[in-house]
Amino acid sequence: MNSPEERHDKLIRATDLDALSCRNSINEKNYLQPKDEFINDLINSYQTYLQYSQGYSSLSSSRTLKAQFLSKKLPIINRGTYMRTKIITDFIQKYIDYFGGVCQILSLGSGSDTRAFHLLSTNPMTKYHEIDFPESTRIKKLGILNNPRLMKLLSIDPLDIPSVKSKESFNDLDPNLHTNRYHLHGLDLRGLNSITQIKGLDTNLPTLIISECVLCYLSPEEYRSTIEICTNFGNENLTSFLIYEPMSLKDSFGSTMNQNLMGRGLNLQTFDEYPDLESRLRFFKDMCKLSNIRMTDISNVAGYNKNSPAWIDDIELRRINSLEMIDEIEEIKLLLEHYCLVYGEFRNSPNAPTFSGVDDFNWLLKHDH
Ligand SMILES: C[S@@+](CC[C@H](N)C(=O)[O-])C[C@H]1O[C@@H](n2cnc3c(N)ncnc32)[C@H](O)[C@@H]1O
């Protein structure tokens, strides 16, 4: 029998299946160009190994995966997933280019995100770290180790493929994977006490830390403390954060979103406690001590704000508009208004660089100090 905490963590881990199935849907519908060639490897890994992870049986894992991957996603969900995926990837690439490739990305709660593989293959100087619960990183690690293309890309010795055919052998598998430029860490963020727990993190590099729908699952205090620990590099460099997550706006749409989340046992405390961009600005500035803060909602990014240019060019917008008709413009605008993208940085010394490329993007709110 699992404890209430274990059951709760299982629900949180399962949110990765939502994210993966949404990305799979936009991949199948040709939103992503070029196509994501690694998504299927991660889906296959879930199909083989979810049954061995904590809280699942062969039957329950197969039911869970069927429910996720056989249900069709609505066009507005596909559009939102595409926007989020595209703008975060473009932002990361901009950051990498700004530092001539010599920097590192740390993705908190990376789940089955495949971005690391694409970015590592095109940015040969960059390092990439991913953190998630050990149960989740084992599935990702097995997805990598069962794929010769990924093994080659990450320079992994093909001799080291473990055999996992039971809960016991799954639990025995080391949840971490360390290569020259890619590191997968099986860690609960709530147990992070020091940056030294993140093996291989180069404290001399500018670092972009991403939270794509992740820190919102922590309490505000755990959220703040994770940011504080990640800024304690003790070097003279720049630590930047890029955070994407939902916010309630304290309206009826937000309240329905909250009820849906609660119905699934997910209590996102910051969702309602910091309901809009202004209150989040105070949270990041006063509680998390970040500076050079930039904020927007995704409706603005997607071009639904009059007089404010989209982050995505017209040709690309026309291409994705032609993939699936969306009549309910007000509905998608409302949905995207409930998601924010936040950039903030922490400089350990006045000599640390800053990322001025951030202002090549069109933000709704800026705070410079
Ligand atoms: C909604 S999914 C997002 C996955 C990925 N960032 C993406 O956008 O595709 C949230 C992820 O955060 C991870 N996560 C949440 N809380 C965590 C914690 N305390 N420690 C490690 N990972 C956590 C979950 O396991 C899950 O993979």
> To the nearest 10°, the Cα dihedral for 135, 217, 230, 338?
130
Question: How far does residue 306's CA lie from ligand 1's centre (Å)?
Answer: 34
Compute the chain's Rg from CA coordinates. 20
pLDDT of residue 351: 86
Q: Which helix (H) or strand (E) holds 293?
A: strand 291-297
The residues lining ligand 1, judged by C-beta closer than 6 Å to any ligand atom, are 12-13, 15-16, 19, 109-111, 113, 131-133, 136, 188-190, 212-214, 217
Residue 114 lies in a domain: yes
The DSSP code for 146 is T
Question: How far does residue 109's CA lie from ligand 1's centre (Å)?
Answer: 3
Residue 133 lies in a domain: yes
Q: Supply the range of the domain harboring residue 140.
A: 73-367
Among 210, 214, 218, 224, the mutation site with the greatest number of ligand 1 atoms within 8 A of its Cβ is 214
Question: How far does residue 309's CA lie from ligand 1's centre (Å)?
Answer: 31
For residues 145 and 162, what is the distance between their CA atoms, to the nearest angstrom?
A: 8
Quickly count: other Cβ atoms within 10 Å of residue 323's Cβ: 15
Residue 167 lies in a domain: yes
For residues 185 and 110, what is the distance between their CA atoms, to the nearest angstrom?
A: 10
Q: What is the CATH number of the domain that holds 318?
A: 3.40.50.150
pLDDT of residue 221: 97
Count structural domains, the chain.
Answer: 1
Phi, psi of 215 (to 5 degrees): -60, -25
pLDDT of residue 140: 98
Per-chain mean pLDDT for the chain: 95
- Per-residue tokens: 143: 């997805």
Residue 53 lies in a domain: no
Quickly count: other Cβ atoms within 10 Å of residue 54's Cβ: 16
Low-confidence ranges of the chain (pLDDT < 70): 1, 160
pLDDT of residue 1: 62
Report the nearest atom of ligand 1 relative to the CA of 188: 20
Residue 331 lies in a domain: yes
- Per-residue tokens: 303: 């071009």
Quickly count: other Cβ atoms within 10 Å of residue 204's Cβ: 11
For residues 240 and 257, what is the distance between their CA atoms, to the nearest angstrom?
A: 29
